[in-house]
Structure 1
Amino acid sequence: MQESALGAGQITVAPVAGKADLDAFIDLPYRLYANDPHWVPPLRAEVRELLTPGKNPFFEHADVQLFLARRGGAVVGRISAHIDHLALAMPVEQGMGPGTGNWGMLEAEDEASAQALIARAEQWLREKGMHRVLAPLSLSIWDEPGLLVQGHDHSPMVMMGHHDPRYQAWIESRGYEKAKSLVTYDLEIVEGFPPLIQRIVASGEKNPRIVIRKVDTRKFDAEAATILHILNDAWSDNWGFVPITDSEIAYVGKKLRPLVNEDLIMIAELDGEPVAFMMTLPDVNQVIHKIRGKLFPFGWARLLWWLRRPTEASMRVPLMGVLKKLQSSRMASQLAFMMIEAIRRVAVSKYGSVRAEIGWILDDNQGMIAIAEAINSKVNREYLIYDKHL
């Protein structure tokens, strides 16, 4: 077992080995964020599944190593180091590419622990032949990318990260520089959108070529395949893009199925062809935050009750896409506004929603930024992905 030390042997960093180490890796954030009112404890079972080969299909195309930092025998930090072989095959100009590895899931009591962990992750990546790091990613670019640098004063929505604000300085002190910024937009949805947007939506609703429909959960697999096709096409030229495999879409579909309400996920058809989609999820973090990540003894019942019919639920739009052949056209923005409005109406009337969040959005995605600003939404959270040459 390889180890590294920093500061006269005060801190040791070693690979996770065995169940006890994995338990310690999973449990650490619950202690570090115990007094942070805005941290939402993840369900331990979900974190364990994320980190388990054979359960998370990310391991089918990635090498992953977890590390723990200890001081005097006590766990003081953790980090993951990983190489996504699908990412290695992507063009360099899209952010990933040959020789690019990643680390993520960083949590540390203090700067010395963080520095030792990052150094060990970098060493592991170099030993695997990597010459560049893009981080933090936990684990995939599709999971929780980036470090929270703006928005620590409110809780994250479903499937979003929350990090100690000290981490930014600790990471940057090791020579990491901004590669990309990811932002989320917050908007009030009760009053509806500006008159111009309403006119664009009304015009589209009169167009017989356009159909905006909700997904059919009775055909869940087929609908998931349709969304995957649009997503892989729509995002294929985006910075950081890595294709989603069939097994990953099945895995994500299984995980999201309890959160899926068919009237909150829209598919846009043009002349009978599915050309765009928008996925909206009720913010289950509202409940998970209250049960503190514990399903037992009563958390499970409370969670199931809420999932059955979310009430007063804030909404998050984590994903949307329009086929490349329509991008940069007026039709693309019209379809986006129509799907947003269709979901807004349902969210307000059926689920009692008053606010929603759109993101992540790349800071140079001018099309999505224009759409977000047109409906009077404001940036409320920012995440940074860093770059460093080894």
Structure 2
Amino acid sequence: MQISEVKNKDQEKAFLDVARALYKNDPEWVCPLDSDIDAVFDPSKNTFYQHGEATRWILKNDQGSVIGRIAAFINEKKANYGDKRIGGIGFFECIDDSAAANLMFDTAVEWLKERKVTTVDGPINFGENDQYWGLLVEGFTQPSYGMAYNHPYYQKMFEDYGFYVKMEQITNEFNLEKGLSPRFVKIAEYVIKRRPNLTTKPFDPSKIDQFAEDFMDIYNSAWAEFENFTPIKKDYVIETFRKIKPIVDPGVIQFAYVNDEPAAFVMCLPDVNQIFKKFNGKLNLWNKLRFLYLKKTNFITRVRVVVMGSKPKFQNMGLESVLTYRAFQHTINNTNVKDIELSWVGDFNDKMLAIHKGLGAEPSKKHITYRLELN
């Protein structure tokens, strides 16, 4: 076997194509857009390169066929935490061969060691954790847009190498045709009634600058106490909003304000993977036209709840329930969506898991973020 760092166009193409080869007989897999994966490793498109670095490798067998891939990252803004220096690996794909997996793990770990890393998390993304994050271990059904999907045997490869569970990420789902839980509706309407100083607004794409400011304000306050947190910048939020603008339904992104102060938000996105499954990773002009057509025909029947957040001083007020209620009201009244995916929530987040339970959602998937200590 031969492992090579990706340094030219042919290797970049091989890095993408190995996934297509490994999943060609898997009816559930959805090929991520090539442009999305390429953007992760493009310093001109990924702002994380401003304070970090990443690289990737492909693995070939003795006959010259690509049989695996892996990437490694270090984000200097999040690397140093306590007595640890943390790096990451991700975008792992491999044939069912432990020697091949171990060679790729060894290569990525050695690269991280050269950068004084003592702790490795994976599989993760060189970006925020709402995409390509965690190893799927339960619920091997069609993934929604941005959610990681992999072969079941990867779990044994990670654990045999020495990775242990850092956290579990739980995804629940429910069907809107069954209606919202009466208890959940009662709670949301009660909060709305007893808080006259509370207002809600759907996202307005024509006012990206203002909503980006509000999102950043809430997000940075809500996550400030989490391990290794780095505040997001407004430019990053604006770029994210611009990226999702072609696919977003403004009614399922809701903001709450208390006395006109940004207090909480919920962001949901249509599951465009239902359309992208037809594209095999290629977003050329023809597929862009197909996307616009299918989007208008109510082809999408699933929405993914990507993230919720509330400033600490407004927590325990039920704002998340109100915003979720507003978003789902819009979905029921204005779309053809039937299924809601609530993804993914860390096992430490009891409050959010309680909201899932209150909605009547049922478990559908589980991802694991692993950790490896380098001695």
2:84·2:119 contact (CA, 8 Å) conserved in 1?
no
Q: Give the equivalent residue in structure 1 for 2:43.
A: 53
Instruction: Please tell me the residue identity of whatever aligns with 1:299.
Output: N
2:213 matched to 1:229?
no
For residue 359 of structure 2, the aligned residue among 370, 375, 385 is: 375
The 1-side partners of 2:265 and 2:202 are apart by 9
Matches within 5 A, 1:133-152: 133-142=120-129, 143-152=131-140
CA deviation digits over 1:336-369, x for unaligned, max 9?
1111111111112211111101121011111001
2:145·2:273 contact (CA, 8 Å) conserved in 1?
yes
The 2-side partners of 1:242 and 1:108 are apart by 32
Q: Give the equivalent residue in structure 1 for 2:73.
A: 82
Instruction: Please tell me the residue identity of whatever aligns with 2:120.
Output: V
CA deviation digits over 1:45-87, x for unaligned, max 9?
2221222111211211111111111112221111001101111
1:148·1:383 contact (CA, 8 Å) conserved in 2?
yes
Unaligned runs of 5+ in 1: 1-10
The alpha-carbon deviation at position 239 of structure 1 amounts to 4.1
The 2-side partners of 1:325 and 1:384 are apart by 30
The 1-side partners of 2:74 and 2:235 are apart by 18
Instruction: Please tell me the residue identity of whatever aligns with 1:119.
Output: D
The 2-side partners of 1:250 and 1:111 are apart by 42
For residue 113 of structure 1, the aligned residue among 96, 100, 103 is: 100
2:310 matched to 1:322?
yes
The 1-side partners of 2:196 and 2:186 are apart by 16
Q: Give the equivalent residue in structure 1 for 2:150.
A: 163
2:55 matched to 1:62?
no
SS at match of 1:304: helix
1:40·1:289 contact (CA, 8 Å) conserved in 2?
yes
The 2-side partners of 1:307 and 1:243 are apart by 34
- Cα distance change of structure 1 residues 211 and 128 upon mapping to structure 2, 3 Å threshold: same
The alpha-carbon deviation at position 245 of structure 1 amounts to 3.2
Q: Give the equivalent residue in structure 2 for 1:15.
A: 5
Matched residues, number: 370
2:215·2:237 contact (CA, 8 Å) conserved in 1?
no
2:208 matched to 1:208?
no
Q: Give the equivalent residue in structure 2 for 1:124.
A: 111
SS at match of 1:291: coil
The alpha-carbon deviation at position 42 of structure 1 amounts to 1.3
Identity across aligned pairs (percent)? 29
1:86·1:243 contact (CA, 8 Å) conserved in 2?
no
CA deviation digits over 1:165-222, x for unaligned, max 9?
1100011001110011111110112343232222222222323111122122211122
CA deviation digits over 1:246-269, x for unaligned, max 9?
343233222211122221110011
Which is worse superposed, 174-183 or 38-47?
A: 38-47
2:264·2:319 contact (CA, 8 Å) conserved in 1?
yes
The 1-side partners of 2:271 and 2:43 are apart by 28
Which is worse superposed, 303-312 or 198-207?
A: 303-312
The alpha-carbon deviation at position 279 of structure 1 amounts to 0.5
Q: Give the equivalent residue in structure 2 for 1:6.
A: none
SS at match of 2:291: helix
SS at match of 2:70: strand
The 2-side partners of 1:365 and 1:323 are apart by 15
2:245 matched to 1:257?
yes
Q: Give the equivalent residue in structure 1 for 2:164.
A: 177
SS at match of 2:294: helix
The 2-side partners of 1:34 and 1:171 are apart by 23
SS at match of 1:29: helix
The alpha-carbon deviation at position 101 of structure 1 amounts to 0.8
- Cα distance change of structure 1 residues 295 and 307 upon mapping to structure 2, 3 Å threshold: same
Instruction: Please tell me the residue identity of whatever aligns with 1:285.
Output: N
Q: Give the equivalent residue in structure 2 for 1:342.
A: 326
2:316 matched to 1:353?
no
- Cα distance change of structure 1 residues 71 and 41 upon mapping to structure 2, 3 Å threshold: same
Q: Give the equivalent residue in structure 1 for 2:175.
A: 188
TM-score normalised over the length of structure 2: 0.94
Instruction: Please tell me the residue identity of whatever aligns with 2:90.
Output: G
The 2-side partners of 1:242 and 1:181 are apart by 21
Instruction: Please tell me the residue identity of whatever aligns with 2:341.
Output: E
SS at match of 2:177: coil
The 2-side partners of 1:311 and 1:39 are apart by 18
The alpha-carbon deviation at position 244 of structure 1 amounts to 2.4
SS at match of 1:99: strand
Q: Give the equivalent residue in structure 2 for 1:7.
A: none
- Cα distance change of structure 1 residues 84 and 226 upon mapping to structure 2, 3 Å threshold: same
Instruction: Please tell me the residue identity of whatever aligns with 2:72.
Output: A
The 2-side partners of 1:309 and 1:282 are apart by 13
1:39·1:156 contact (CA, 8 Å) conserved in 2?
yes
The 2-side partners of 1:179 and 1:130 are apart by 17
SS at match of 1:159: coil
Instruction: Please tell me the residue identity of whatever aligns with 1:223.
Output: F
1:317·1:357 contact (CA, 8 Å) conserved in 2?
yes
SS at match of 2:179: coil
